[in-house]
């Protein structure tokens, strides 16, 4: 079972992070700023939260320059083996043995760089979730008092790519990004352990230096100003310019309220994008599950299916899925909606060979399906474009008139979202944190989520705050 590691209750400070910024590598999404006036080039600190969404793929986090010399390039990135890598020009300083492969989790990464340190091993320090990284496949140190291209006049800082502004574009979410110019800070300035031993963010109250910044990602504008996605709220007004980023990339999926996405680790022959909320398939049958799988409670999510026919979407028992039994089927104790050729079939079945057909009718491609799963009472309800299934058709906008597609959801097992797409097309999943523009804007009763259609009373979006309360 996959569950996020950060979020919920128990924070000593009660500090909340409200937003993150979603980076999609195929867009070469990035933030950039050309530095005017040289400041400290030997010492900096940074703290950011990363939710990585691509497996075995490069992802630039912060980079400057393209030259091969140490003073011409410095970049921090995830490499192709999912390790954290820091390199300066032709020298690789650090490559962690740790692999960053949990696509459901938020990682806090703290880095201090201080070439003035007399002890070589103290010149670069890395902490992940409050624990110092000490195991590296590669470990080299900058020479004492070495200059970097950070904070150098005329150099361009990029977030979301390498230092050339195009290579190794990031797939993932970034939140609470602090960059401190000229000061070696402590990792405890930005986070702490809660009563359960989980590393959580806390408010930073220090200074930032000349070219330092603090990105909260609360704005949706596309200019380098206080209304832009790269707005600096440190007081320095070191605003960065968004490139290939849209308002929908400003999200509420954060380290203090982690939302479900699709899980590429569960996937078969699908291509993921938009923070693992969109999945496409061009040839062989593809399928995937979600990252949050509650065993009780009432939950709501939406999936928009577009393109060719032969889609499936719905709810699946994650334990059966992980066992590998009948992995492309309707079954695995799943309640699903199937679209095939000119008709659609609402079906439910524990095996692929004998699903129960509950309804057939005119195909609804390019439709948004709502799924309301009542795990406590073993019921699943399905809507199409806001109209709930009532036993014979999708024909009523009132959830109170809906009929359950099945009253036989399995008990005491982890249930999660499920998609299957054997032909070309796209599934766009919305667990309350959509990557598409929502015209209506409906939240659950706790105020979480942004859905196209109204969330049924008593049902909640799949995120860690709701899970802590109702799961």
Predicted confidence (pLDDT) per residue in 273-320, tens digit: 999 999 987 666 678 899 999 999 999 999 988 766 667 788 888 887
pLDDT, mean of residues 127-145: 98
Six-digit token string for 395: 């024909």
Instruction: Say what the pLDDT of residue 309 is.
Output: 60
Q: CA separation (Å) from 29 to 212, 220, 248, 393, 448? A: 21, 14, 13, 42, 26
Is residue 242 classed exposed, middle or buried when 0-12, 13-18 and 19+ CB atoms within 10 A define those classes? buried
pLDDT bracket for residue 352 (50, 70, 90): very low
The yes-or-no verdict on residue 342 having pLDDT over 50 is no
Which of the pair, 188 or 264, is modelled with greater confidence? Answer: 188
Nearest to 322 by CA among 285, 268, 260: 268
pLDDT score of 288: 87
Yes or no: say if 381 and 402 are a contact pair by the CB < 8 Å rule.
yes
> Which has more pLDDT, 326 or 84?
84
Measure the CA–CA gap between 310 and 195, rounded to whole angstroms: 48
- State both tokens at 150: 């950070």
d(CA 148, CA 153): 12
Task: For residues 160 and 33, give the distance between their C-alpha atoms in angstroms, rounded to a whole number.
Answer: 12
Q: What is the pLDDT of residues 217-267, one digit of tens each?
A: 999 999 999 999 999 999 999 999 999 999 999 999 999 999 999 999 877
Lowest mean pLDDT among 2-16, 217-231, 253-267, 372-386: 2-16
Please report the domains of the chain, with CATH numbers, ordered by start residue.
Answer: 20-251 (2.60.120.200), 264-470 (2.60.120.920)
Reported as a single tens digit per residue, the pLDDT across 108-127 is 999 999 999 999 999 999 99
Residue 457 and residue 182: Cα distance in Å, rounded? 52
468 pLDDT band (50/70/90 cuts)? very high
DSSP, collapsed to helix, strand or coil, labels residue 455 as coil
Cα–Cα distance measured from residue 419 to residue 366, given in angstroms and rounded to the nearest whole number? 15
Work out the angle at residue 263's Cα, subtended by the Cα atoms of residues 169 and 217, and round it to the nearest 5 degrees.
Answer: 50
Note whether 129 and 255 are within 8 A (CB).
no
Please give the mean pLDDT across all residues of the chain. Answer: 88
Is there a contact between 229 and 220 (Cβ–Cβ < 8 Å)?
A: yes
Whether residue 186 is predicted with pLDDT greater than 90 in this model: the reply is yes
Greater confidence, 385 or 420?
385
Which helix (DSSP H) or strand (DSSP E) does residue 175 occupy?
Answer: strand 172-181
């Amino acid at each position: 079972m996959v569950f996020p590691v950060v979020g919920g209750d128990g924070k000593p400070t009660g500090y909340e992070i409200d937003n993150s910024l979603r980076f999609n590598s195929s867009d070469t999404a990035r933030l950039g700023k050309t530095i005017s006036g040289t400041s400290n080039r030997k010492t900096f600190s940074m703290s950011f939260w990363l939710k990585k969404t691509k497996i075995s793929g490069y992802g630039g986090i912060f980079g400057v320059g393209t030259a091969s010399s140490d003073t011409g390039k410095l970049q921090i990135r995830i490499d192709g083996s999912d390790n954290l890598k820091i390199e300066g020009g032709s020298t690789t300083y650090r490559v962690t043995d740790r692999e960053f492969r949990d696509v459901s989790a938020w990682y806090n990464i703290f880095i201090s760089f201080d070439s003035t340190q007399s002890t070589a091993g103290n010149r670069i320090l890395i902490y992940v979730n409050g624990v110092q990284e000490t195991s590296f496949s590669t470990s080299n140190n900058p020479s004492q008092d070495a200059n970097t291209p950070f904070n150098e006049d005329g150099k361009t800082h990029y977030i979301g790519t390498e230092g050339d502004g195009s290579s190794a574009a990031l797939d993932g979410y970034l939140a609470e990004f602090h960059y401190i110019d000229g000061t070696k800070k402590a990792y405890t300035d930005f986070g702490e352990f809660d009563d359960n031993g989980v590393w959580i963010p806390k408010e930073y109250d220090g200074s930032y230096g000349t070219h330092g910044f603090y990105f909260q990602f609360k704005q949706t504008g596309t200019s380098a100003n206080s209304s832009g996605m790269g707005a600096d709220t440190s007081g320095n007004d070191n605003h960065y310019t968004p490139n290939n980023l849209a308002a929908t990339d400003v999200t509420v999926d954060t380290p203090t309220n982690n939302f479900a996405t699709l899980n590429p680790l569960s996937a078969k022959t699908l291509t993921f994008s938009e923070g693992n909320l969109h999945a496409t398939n061009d040839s062989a049958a593809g399928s995937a599950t979600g990252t949050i799988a509650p065993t009780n409670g009432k939950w709501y999510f939406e999936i928009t299916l577009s393109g060719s026919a032969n889609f499936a979407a719905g709810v699946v028992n994650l334990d059966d899925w992980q066992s590998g039994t009948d992995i492309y089927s309707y079954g695995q104790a799943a309640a699903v909606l199937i679209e095939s050729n000119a008709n659609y079939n609402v079906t439910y079945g524990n095996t692929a060979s004998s699903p129960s057909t509950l309804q057939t009718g005119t195909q609804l491609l390019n439709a948004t399906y709502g799924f309301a799963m009542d795990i406590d009472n073993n019921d699943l309800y399905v809507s199409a474009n806001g109209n709930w299934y009532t036993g014979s058709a999708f024909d009523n906008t009132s959830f109170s008139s809906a009929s359950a597609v099945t009253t036989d959801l399995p008990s005491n097992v982890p249930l999660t979202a499920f998609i299957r797409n054997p032909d070309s097309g796209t599934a766009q999943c919305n667990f309350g944190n959509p990557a598409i523009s929502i015209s209506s804007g409906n939240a659950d009763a706790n105020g979480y989520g942004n859905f196209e259609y109204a969330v049924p009373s008593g049902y909640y979006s799949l995120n860690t705050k709701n899970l802590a309360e109702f799961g």
